[in-house]
């Protein structure tokens, strides 16, 4: 290698080594967020249940469907048309944003660890409240600035008493600073 090439290679390596130390940590912006989750199960049981629920919703009268959608909307939930996609609106408090936490459902705990300026790993455990099986999961969230993220998770659960694994792809986008009537989940 020629001396200029060695100097250039050395400079590139030094800059690359120093860049993570100076990179700014990305955090979620507090406020109203929309989280979309696409799930796929090994067994196909979850997809079958979601398809059955979509079929039931389609069979409702317009008034019944509107009532069901309003009930879900009060909880910040909207079901995607694809059956395996769920969309949830969530209010993120300033404290949750500072701790890199996405609110978990009741009965769940989570551990978050920073793995870089724009990514965290998450592990969670849910006790299986309201007839749901216990679940364990882990994955990574990557922040694309303060108003968007993507995530990939593996979840261990059970369907009809048999072990099952869910693969989840999650995206989030910030909608507004004001959450309206929706309160931050704890």
Q: Residue 80: inside a domain, yes or no?
A: yes
Instruction: Output the six-digit token pair for 94.
Output: 């300033």
Q: Residue 158: inside a domain, yes or no?
A: yes
Q: Residue 183: inside a domain, yes or no?
A: no
Q: Residue 155: inside a domain, yes or no?
A: yes
Encode pLDDT of 52-67 as tens digits: 777 777 788 888 877 8
Residue in 186, 167, 164, 182 with CA at minimum distance from that of residue 88? 182
Distance CA 96, CA 173 (A): 15
Q: Residue 139: inside a domain, yes or no?
A: yes
Q: What is the mean pLDDT of residues 14-33?
A: 63
Residue with tokens 């860049």: 19
Confidence tier at 74 by pLDDT (50, 70, 90): low
Q: Which domain holds residue 34?
A: 28-176
For residue 85, how many other CB atoms are within 10 A of its CB?
Answer: 15
Q: Which residue has the higher pLDDT, 58 or 109?
A: 109
What is the number of structural domains in the chain? 1
- C-beta separation of 110 from 123 below 8 A: yes
Q: What is the pLDDT of residue 80?
A: 54
Encode pLDDT of 131-185 as tens digits: 778 889 999 999 999 999 999 999 998 877 888 888 999 999 999 999 988 888 7
Instruction: Output the six-digit token pair for 61.
Output: 């009268």
Q: What is the mean pLDDT of residues 38-46?
A: 80
Q: Residue 71: inside a domain, yes or no?
A: yes
Q: Answer yes or no: is pLDDT of 1 > 50.
A: no
Q: What is the pLDDT of residue 129?
A: 65
Q: Answer yes or no: is pLDDT of 20 > 50.
A: no
Q: What is the mean pLDDT of residues 83-89?
A: 74
Quote the pTM value. 0.69
Average pLDDT over all residues of the chain: 77
Confidence tier at 5 by pLDDT (50, 70, 90): very low
Instruction: Output the six-digit token pair for 155.
Output: 């979840």
Q: Residue 50: inside a domain, yes or no?
A: yes
Q: Residue 13: inside a domain, yes or no?
A: no
């Amino acid at each position: 290698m020629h001396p200029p090439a060695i100097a250039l290679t050395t400079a590139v390596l030094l800059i690359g080594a120093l860049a993570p130390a100076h990179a700014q940590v990305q955090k979620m912006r507090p406020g109203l967020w929309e989280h979309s989750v696409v799930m796929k199960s090994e067994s196909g049981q979850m997809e079958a249940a979601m398809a059955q629920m979509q079929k039931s919703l389609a069979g409702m009268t317009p008034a019944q469907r509107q009532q069901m959608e309003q009930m879900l909307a009060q909880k910040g939930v909207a079901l995607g048309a694809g059956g395996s996609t769920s969309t949830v609106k969530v209010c993120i408090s300033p404290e949750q944003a500072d701790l890199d936490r996405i609110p978990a459902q009741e009965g769940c705990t989570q551990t978050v660890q920073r793995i870089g300026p724009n990514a965290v790993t998450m592990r969670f455990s849910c006790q299986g409240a309201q007839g749901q099986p216990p679940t364990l999961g882990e994955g990574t969230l990557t922040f694309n600035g303060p108003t968007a993220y993507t995530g990939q998770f593996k979840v261990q659960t059970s369907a009809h008493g048999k072990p099952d694994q869910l693969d989840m792809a999650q995206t989030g986008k910030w909608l507004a600073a004001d959450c309206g009537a929706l309160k931050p989940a704890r």
